[in-house]
Amino acid sequence: MPACGRNVTITNNRIARASGELMTSMERKIFGAVATALLTIIFGAVVWLLLQPPEPVYHGKPIGYWINLPGNTSDALGYFPKADSKAIPYLVHALRARNGVVTKFYAGSWAKAPQWMQQHLPTPVTLDAAMVRANAAQALGRLGTNSPSAISGLMRVLKEDDVSYVRVFAAESLQDIGKGNELVAKSMIEALHDRAPEVRDAASDALWQIDPTAAKAQLK
């Protein structure tokens, strides 16, 4: 092979080797950056969770225990104690309860966590999620609160929840805590066209309590 050919081959090999080393170095930097970012996010999430106040306790049990009681919703709420405003954020959060892979994984992890950590983490959903949402909706009504977060959460459930009896309980609780609230009245008027007759009936009853004038207007 001519000398020039050998030189070209050697040069190409060196370029290829240098390129490979450069890519390896870049891959290491990218991997390190991604790993650092993930660890930072995980660490931040753990710290944030541990800094959250413990779930409020009623009759010796956290709020999550009461809304996860088995049986039908009425039975469960029969044991639900008279909670206070501390329960509202947890009940509003429970209005979004869903069963799924993540929920099951969290429940398993929570059960294995030490007690001091469990106290700073939300009680996992162990009951059918629709029933948990119904329990939370009823509990917010029992509290008799006009908390904006409670009202907006219940209005969202009334409009979006895919289980009719959960929407019924949302309407009934809004009837108790939304009297005179114009937004709640509008939410009930929309619910008069719900696909489920039981929801329409509950919305009609609630509207008469919330805004009788608006209810009369619907009769025209």
Q: What's the token pair of residue 81? A: 């104690």
Backbone phi, then psi, for 84, in 5-degree steps?
A: -125, -170
- For the cut 60, the answer to whether the pLDDT of residue 142 exceeds it is yes
- For the cut 90, the answer to whether the pLDDT of residue 83 exceeds it is no
Q: 165 in helix, strand or coil?
A: helix
Residue 1 banded pLDDT, cuts 50, 70, 90: very low
The percent of residues above 70 in pLDDT, for the chain, comes to: 74
Go through 5-40 and write b for each residue having 16 or more CB atoms within 10 A of its CB, e for each that does not.
Answer: eeeeeeeeeeeeeeeeeeeeeeeeeeeeeeeeeeee
Task: Tell me the CATH class for 55-217.
Answer: mainly alpha
pLDDT tens per residue across span 150-198 = 999 999 999 999 999 999 999 999 999 998 899 999 999 999 999 999 9
β-bridge partners, 61:
58
The pLDDT, as a whole number, for residue 79 is 59
Of 44-48, 98-102, 181-185, the range with the highest mean pLDDT is 181-185
In a 13 Å sphere around the CA of 73, the CA atoms on its Cβ side amount to 17
Residue type, 160: E
pLDDT tens per residue across span 194-218 = 999 999 999 999 999 999 999 988 8
